[in-house]
Amino acid sequence: MTQPSFAFEPHATPVEASERAARIVNPGFGRVFTDHMATIRWSEDKGWHDAKITARAPIVMDPAAAVLHYAQEIFEGLKAYTLPDGGVALFRAEQNAARFRRSAKRLAMAELPEDLFVASCRELTLAEREWIPAGEGSALYLRPFMIASETFLGVKPSAEYLYCVIASAVGNYWPGGAKSVSLWVSKEFTRAAPGGTGDAKCGGNYAASLLAQSEAIRQGCDQVVFLDATERRWVEELGGMNIFFVFDDGTMLTPPLTGTILPGITRDSILTLARDQEITVREERYSIEEWQADAASGRLVEAFACGTAAVVTPIGKVSSADFSFQIGDGQPGERTQALLKQLTDIQRGRSNDPHGWMQRI
């Protein structure tokens, strides 16, 4: 077991308390950052070293740093919450640690020990606990990431890495606090192919999704939904969220983890919560034709997207170049709202945590 120990170099001029309080009142998503960051370096000769919490500051690197050319980069996203008794807890951080390690392996990067990942999140959150927003739907969003920092233009795994965690006070992921969202089915673009990096959380996957996402916005939709790259038929996931379907017989379905979709921790939590209530949830392929037909016949009654940033978001409408359909009455469905409540009640310490998902720090 690694014994992580983070040197703490406090910010010389942190944001003043009154200014901080004003910034975290409706923070939106991803624009309000805290004072500090955690960093750890890795090199072939020293391994993991130089763990510290310092003032959040620009990262200086050589223009030939490998990440700038070959995109050897991975990241995570997880949240810290304030509990009713004033304590602070992370949600399933060990799962993010394990996924980060799997992403590192897929991108041929140094694998950060899981206890070091969790410790970096804990230490940064403790340093920034005053930044955790209190409002419903808000949290401190932690963004651990790792970049290839070796100065070298040859195409090979980097001999040096910089691991970093930044923190952001966040509220609703959707601009305007959308209650349900509309999806655009991308016919032209796919997100991930078999054997590729679809199940790793690497920046390149997101870069590759942006054109399709822009197309969705241009078509008046909130998000793109991707089909599989081989048959262009099976529903996979959104640009940054997994997807669930709810049927009129009460059963649910989510696409299986076959290597081209991200194994979401929210997805896993929803599966667990649903199965705890003896709801049948199938992890099976679901085609766009079935989706369209089931929505028309009323067999499909709800659909929702889920992820750390977006939590559980109802899907109201689905469009593509040749069709457009509504799901149910287009409004948030009962099952979707119940699962959202069950999940957020656990995360906010308002209900029992039977699976030990909240880690007090």
Block residue for tokens 């952001």:
168
Shortest distance, position 142 Cβ to ligand COI, whole Å: 9
37 binds, among ligand COI, ligand PLP, none (CB under 5 to 8 A by kind): none
Query: Cβ closer to ligand PLP: 149 or 223?
Result: 223
Shortest distance, position 92 Cβ to ligand COI, whole Å: 12
> Which of the stretches 30-38, 215-223, 235-243, 331-339 binds ligand PLP when contact is defined by CB under 6 A?
235-243
Query: What part of residues 288-307 is at the interface with ligand COI (CB under 6 A)?
Result: 307
Does position 237 interact with ligand PLP (CB under 6 A)? The reply is yes
Instruction: Provide the 3-class DSSP secondary structure of residue 199.
Output: coil
Shortest distance, position 312 Cβ to ligand COI, whole Å: 12
Does position 167 interact with ligand COI (CB under 6 A)? The reply is no
Shortest distance, position 333 Cβ to ligand PLP, whole Å: 20
Q: Which segments of 178-294 are extended strands (E)?
A: 181-185, 223-227, 235-238, 242-247, 252-254, 281-283
Q: With beta carbons less than 8 A apart as the criterion, state whether 118 and 93 touch.
A: yes
Q: With beta carbons less than 8 A apart as the criterion, state whether 288 and 185 touch.
A: yes
Roughly what angle, to the nearest 10 degrees, separates helices 93-106 and 114-127? 130
d(CA 301, CA 284): 18
d(CA 199, CA 261): 5
198 binds, among ligand PLP, ligand COI, none (CB under 5 to 8 A by kind): none
Query: Cβ closer to ligand COI: 225 or 295?
Result: 225
Does position 240 interact with ligand PLP (CB under 6 A)? The reply is yes
d(CA 111, CA 106): 10
Does position 316 interact with ligand PLP (CB under 6 A)? The reply is no
Does position 260 interact with ligand COI (CB under 6 A)? The reply is no
Does position 24 interact with ligand PLP (CB under 6 A)? The reply is no
Distance, first Cα to last Cα, the chain: 19
Q: Would you state the structure tokens that stand for residue 270, as one six-digit string?
A: 């929803």
Residue 168: CB atoms within 10 A of its CB come to 21
> Which of the stretches 42-50, 233-241, 288-296, 340-348 binds ligand PLP when contact is defined by CB under 6 A?
233-241
Interface with ligand COI (CB under 6 A): 77, 240, 307-309
